[in-house]
Amino acid sequence: MRTEPAAPAAAILRFRPLNFGRWAVWGLTAALFVAAPFAFDSKFSLALMSQAGIMIIFALSYNMLLGHSGMLSFGHAVYSGLGAYFAIHAMNMIGRGELFFPVSLLPLVGGAAGLLFGFVFGWLTTRRAGTTFAMITLGIGEMVFAASLMFPGFFGGEAGISGNRTVGAPFLGIDGLDFSRDIQVYYLIAAWCLASMVAMFALTATPLGRIANAVRDNPERAEFIGYNTQRVRWLMLMLSAFFAGIAGGLMAINLESVGSEALSAIRSGGVLLAAFIGGVAFFFGPIIGAIVFVFFAVALSEYTKAWQLYLGLFFVILVMFAPGGLASLILMNLRVIKFGKFRRLLDPYVGVILSGLALTVGIVLLIEFTWHRTLDIALGATVTVAGFAFDTSQPQPWVLAVVIVLAAGAAFEFMRRRFKAEWDAIQIEIETWLRDNPQDKP
Amino acid sequence: MTPALQLAQLTKRFGRTEIIRGVSLAVAPGERHALIGPNGAGKSTLFNLISGRHAPSSGTIALDGADITGRKPFEINRLGLSRSFQITNLFHRLTAFENLRCALLWSLGYRYSFWHRLNGLREVERRAEEILLRIGLQRRHKTPAGLLTYAEQRALEIGVTIAGGARVILLDEPTSGMSRSETAAAVALIKELTQGRTLLVVEHDMSVVFGLADRISVLVYGEIIASGTPAEIRANAQVKEAYLGRHAQAAV
Amino acid sequence: MPLDFFVIQLLNGLSYGLLLFMLAAGLTLIFSMMGVLNFAHTSFYMLGAYAAYQISEWFGFWPALLLAPVAVGLAGAAVERYGLRRVHKWGHVPELLFTFGLSYIIVELVQVVWGRAPVPYQVPVQLEGPVGWLQQHFGLTFPAYRAFAMAVAIFMLAAIWWLLARTRTGLVIQAALDHPQQVEALGHNVPRVFMLVFGGGCALAGLAGVIGGNLFVTEPGMAAAVGAIVFVIIVIGGMGSLAGAFVASLLLGLVDAFGKTSNWSIADGLDAVGLAVGPEIFGYPVWKLTLAQVTPVLPYLLLVLVLIFRPRGLLGTRAD
């Protein structure tokens, strides 16, 4: 028979001071969004940031499936793509005066489309789980893509549908705020991005969000605590598709054109890469991943045609050595700093980073040389890499590249082992300390 | 009086192998019933049939008179039956507290809500804390379930099982892998947590069986060869021969 | 439909279906044996085609037929040994993502080495033209190379069955699927078995590439063109079921062959029963689609149907 009163028990866990930290983080993020265009004001930077903002929403929506609910999808572009198409058709209807709706709220049209198709396709795809679910999403994605080419009336064939975002009434009736200038589009995207981030974050702290975590960890047990796991996954997919549709709507506004590649397997693969590179186990992981991905796709692609190869290599290396993504790397290092042991890693880090950079340079040279010889040979034998010109018809550049790869490779391997030894030792020390000093203080 | 749980001529075949061959059993409300038998007798399979993990090949299962044969696990759970697992089966990335909170959400009516703030659900929190205290894990409430010690996980397993308020509880070898003192503590915990509820326990440890159970059934090769009070089972020659053997000496 | 046209399309469908099955079989074997769904499987198919092209440029087609699958198999084994094995400990999702990233990389590497345009991988001279006796006796013009492809596929099938059911290696592989720890305790090198299985599966994909590369076009997009279909096949057939993959492959091959040649549309059908369908009718764009236009989507429609009515797949046994 229990005799202790309930009050002390409740007090153990319920004492939670107002979480200033959380408000500070959101406030800082908002401030960053507002201030960014003043720091980076070139047209190119603005385009980069706008695309990153959209990608952040897209990647976070994807992680609602992968990271939060354990659902690996290869067809997420279906929802963002269909959202984009519906949004651009609505945009054109506004332009023709058939629809009175603010352009700034068009992402909601995209979201609604995403939600609708999430409902329909979600029911189909969530009938199975795990690897089978992944394959089914691949099939549905290809189906929608193939179907889009069969209905040129709605999808506009290969060329797609174009629109004009300056139509309709200006924002809040203020003359001049008609999204004719890129900076206005940027702030629209930033606002939606912030709102979506807050919404998706809030969702993680709801009953559905937590049960989705449970279904991820142990679908069988989730059934035995009263939950229909298929229903849970279906609902999460619908909500995820809603936010993907918002991203699609913003894409339509940003580019004023939607083509078949918005529904493509490449777009689906891209958001998967972005989420995973950032780290799926943490809420903010896909935010990092989205920014990195846009960097590869938009910035790096200006400098080299082989950017997809580099992206693929980067992704595979992460899968093999850091499957928790960049977020996990950051957090693990923060933990080492918190325990005051980071000093011991400085030297090994320098060694790994320098030799790794050298190795990367060598590999990049080889790739760029081969690429040039295969694909751009018509432009002559000389290729420029980072400002240096190399004549690929001569053996010297090749020899140089190979020597760099071999030498840096050996050095890197040596440095990597040295780093790993020190890192593992530190981790053991930390884990041991944690085991002996349980951190569950009430 | 309607039995809390009634099995009628239950059979289960996997391919050509018949694991359960015509099991009939009635457990009265509030009764503590132990299911014993040699390894491979089919005890876990029987649990899987009752809890909906597998559908029986023939026969019926009734919970408080309602037919639950072949229903899905979540349906059966919502009707008031809950089970634990022999191999710890928790939400390994969620903390101990979160595990309990999840186990409470459906029974407290929150279902698939995505419009409630989880941390604002006072009743859910109060009940989760209460169970946490009773299973003795209040100092480990922020630890992910996967990182708890084995005994802590077993305790959490029981906590998650009873959290939803199920009237009929199935416990599958709750003390497996425990030392003597851990076992004694576990038995005390089970008794306390399942007060007033119907209990069906699979166990190998005879001291637990004879200390906990009101009635015992013996399952051998998929059939129940004896069913009765501990005294009756102890005295049953068939049972002694088929199963208890030397264990009877240790338990007595 | 005239009979000879029907027979030709039947043979076309069967040959395409058998090619798809060569791919689906390797994929199913790897999945059954190792629990890994090799997303890069069709990339190894593409590698097989490119390797066969390169080898046949140097030595001719017949050496390529032998050497290309071996080369691809070795590449697969190396990938397993140095890449996949490392990821194995992280679980199934990272394994799948590893093979996904690998498929990305292989496609890009192929372009770096051979360029973006299709390469002129030709059918060997000896197999050009129609099958002689079919033309003589039945008046049917069926390409000899397609018949050869079918023969290779059937031979491969038979070889797999014989290997798994009749040899000791096969038994060990089957045992390692279910009980890897016991098999390892018995002294068998399970990691090596995995490497062999993965390499073998990739070699099968490579063989399919040798055949498919000159039957169709060898270009960087060929992996993606057939990729989704193969995964759809194994879901329709039932994950992990070779027999299911066989049935589904043939089914899709036939659907593809017959669908592509038909100009029938739903509007035609409605017309035939007296219901005129014009542009003003709701949904006209759908009704006027011909079967030939819809053929690319048919495999996925089949997938949808299977998912609704038989989620486990045609011959699937396991629920996941």
Compute the average pLDDT of residues B59-81.
92
Q: Is the pLDDT of residue B96 over 90?
A: yes
In a domain, C278, yes or no: no
What is d(CA C210, CA C49) in angstroms, rounded to the nearest whole number? 5
Q: Is the pLDDT of residue B157 over 80?
A: yes
Nearest to A313 by CA among A356, A283, A375, A249: A356
**A221 and A85, same structural domain?**
yes
Chains that touch C (3 or more CB pairs under 8 A): A
Q: Is the pLDDT of residue B245 over 70?
A: no
Find chain A residues with C-beta within 8 A of B53's C-beta. 220
In a domain, A441, yes or no: no
Compute the average pLDDT of residues C64-82.
94
What is d(CA B202, CA A351) in angstroms, rounded to the nearest whole number? 58
Find chain A residues with C-beta within 8 A of B74's C-beta. 223-224, 226-229
Q: The domain containing residue A261 runs over which residues?
A: 21-330
Long-range contacts of A347-356 (CB under 8 A, 24+ apart): A348/A415, A348/A418, A348/A419, A348/A422, A348/A423, A349/A419, A351/A415, A351/A418, A351/A419, A352/A412, A352/A415, A352/A416, A352/A418, A352/A419, A354/A415, A355/A408, A355/A411, A355/A412, A355/A414, A355/A415, A356/A412, A356/A415
What is d(CA A271, CA B6) in angstroms, rounded to the nearest whole number? 52
Would the CB atoms of A207 and B118 count as touching at under 8 Å? yes
Nearest Cα of chain C lies from the Cα of A300 at a distance, in angstroms, of: 16
Q: Is C50 on the interface with A (CB under 8 A)?
A: no
What's the distance, Cα to Cα, between the start and end of chain A in Å?
24
In this structure, CATH architecture of domain B5-251: 3-Layer(aba) Sandwich (3.40)
Would the CB atoms of A138 and C231 count as touching at under 8 Å? yes
**A71 and A183, same structural domain?**
yes
Q: In one letter, which amino acid is B198? A: T
Average pLDDT taken over every residue of chain C: 85
Q: Is C90 on the interface with A (CB under 8 A)?
A: yes
pTM: 0.90
Structural contact between residues A227 and A214, judged by C-beta atoms closer than 8 angstroms: yes
Q: Is the pLDDT of residue B140 over 80?
A: yes
Q: Report strand pairing: B5-14 vs B17-27.
A: antiparallel
Write down the pLDDT at residue C179: 65
C158-183: pLDDT as tens digits: 888 888 778 877 777 666 656 666 66
Between C3 and A215, the more confident residue is A215
Using CB atoms, pick whichever of B106, B110, B119 lies closest to residue A205: B119
Q: How many other CB atoms are found less than 10 A from the CB of residue C271?
A: 13
What phi and psi values does residue B6 have, to the nearest 5 degrees? -135, 125
Q: The domain containing residue C57 runs over which residues?
A: 3-224
Write down the pLDDT at residue A19: 65
C20-39: pLDDT as tens digits: 999 998 898 888 777 788 99
Nearest to A365 by CA among A328, A327, A415, A310: A310
Percent share of chain C, pLDDT over 90: 29
What phi and psi values does residue C223 have, to the nearest 5 degrees? -65, -45
CATH number of the domain enclosing A212:
1.10.3470
In a domain, C157, yes or no: yes
Write down the pLDDT at residue A65: 96
In a domain, A12, yes or no: no
Nearest Cα of chain A lies from the Cα of B117 at a distance, in angstroms, of: 5
Would the CB atoms of A143 and C224 count as touching at under 8 Å? no
**A33 and A178, same structural domain?**
yes
Structural contact between residues A38 and A46, judged by C-beta atoms closer than 8 angstroms: no
Residue C144 structure tokens: 């000899």
Using CB atoms, pick whichever of C100, C286, C297 lies closest to residue A146: C297
Q: Is B51 on the interface with A (CB under 8 A)?
A: yes
- Cα distances (angstroms) measured from residue B73 to each of A167, A252, B47, B48: 54, 44, 11, 9
In a domain, A4, yes or no: no
In a domain, A214, yes or no: yes
**A259 and A379, same structural domain?**
no
Q: Do B and C make contact, counting contact as 3+ CB pairs within 8 angstroms? A: no
**A389 and A280, same structural domain?**
no
Write down the pLDDT at residue C7: 86
Between A21 and B98, the more confident residue is B98
Compute the average pLDDT of residues C290-317.
84
Nearest to B230 by CA among B198, B199, B208, B246: B208
Domain count, chain C: 1
Q: How many other CB atoms are found less than 10 A from the CB of residue B155?
A: 25
**A234 and A122, same structural domain?**
yes
In a domain, C311, yes or no: no
> What is the chain B residue with the closest CA to A3?
B134
Compute the average pLDDT of residues C58-74.
93
**A422 and A280, same structural domain?**
no
What is d(CA A309, CA A371) in angstroms, rounded to the nearest whole number? 11
In a domain, A143, yes or no: yes
In a domain, A377, yes or no: yes
Q: In angstroms, how far is CA A156 from the centroid of its own chain?
A: 28
In this prediction, residue B17 has a pLDDT band, given cuts at 50, 70 and 90, of confident
Give the pLDDT of chain A (442 residues) as one tens digit per residue: 334 344 444 444 554 555 677 788 888 888 888 888 888 888 888 999 999 999 999 999 999 999 999 999 999 999 999 999 999 999 999 988 888 888 999 999 999 999 999 999 999 999 888 888 998 999 899 999 988 988 888 998 888 999 988 888 777 777 778 888 889 999 999 999 999 999 999 999 999 999 999 999 999 999 999 999 999 999 999 999 999 999 999 999 999 999 999 999 999 999 999 999 999 999 999 999 999 999 989 888 888 888 889 999 999 999 998 899 999 999 999 999 988 888 888 989 999 999 999 999 899 888 888 888 887 777 777 777 777 788 877 888 888 889 999 999 999 989 999 999 999 999 999 888 887 776 665 4
Q: b or e along B62-86 (b: 16 or more beta carbons within 10 Å of the residue's beta carbon)?
A: bbbeeebbebbbbebbbbbbbbbbb
Q: In one letter, which amino acid is A375? A: L
Range list of β-strands (E), chain B: 5-14, 17-27, 32-36, 58-63, 66-67, 81-83, 168-172, 198-202, 215-220, 223-228
Last residue of a domain, one of A311, A330, A349: A330
Last residue of a domain, one of A282, A298, A330: A330
Write down the pLDDT at residue A439: 64
Last residue of a domain, one of A310, A330, A350: A330
Q: Is C232 on the interface with A (CB under 8 A)?
A: yes
Average pLDDT taken over every residue of chain B: 88
Find chain A residues with C-beta within 8 A of B111's C-beta. 207
Nearest Cα of chain A lies from the Cα of C36 at a distance, in angstroms, of: 9
Alpha-helical regions (H) of B66-179: 73-78, 96-105, 122-134, 150-163
In a domain, C260, yes or no: no
**A249 and A168, same structural domain?**
yes
Would the CB atoms of A224 and B118 count as touching at under 8 Å? no
Residue A16 structure tokens: 């939670």
Lowest mean pLDDT among B94-108, C201-215, C281-295: C281-295
Find chain C residues with C-beta within 8 A of A125's C-beta. 307
In this prediction, residue C99 has a pLDDT band, given cuts at 50, 70 and 90, of very high
Find chain B residues with C-beta within 8 A of A229's C-beta. 74
**A250 and A375, same structural domain?**
no
In a domain, C320, yes or no: no
Residue boundaries of the structural domains of chain B? 5-251
Nearest to A85 by CA among A171, A146, A153: A153
Strand partners for A326: none
- Cα distances (angstroms) measured from residue A58 to each of A65, A85, A162, A291, A295: 12, 16, 21, 11, 15
**A206 and A113, same structural domain?**
yes
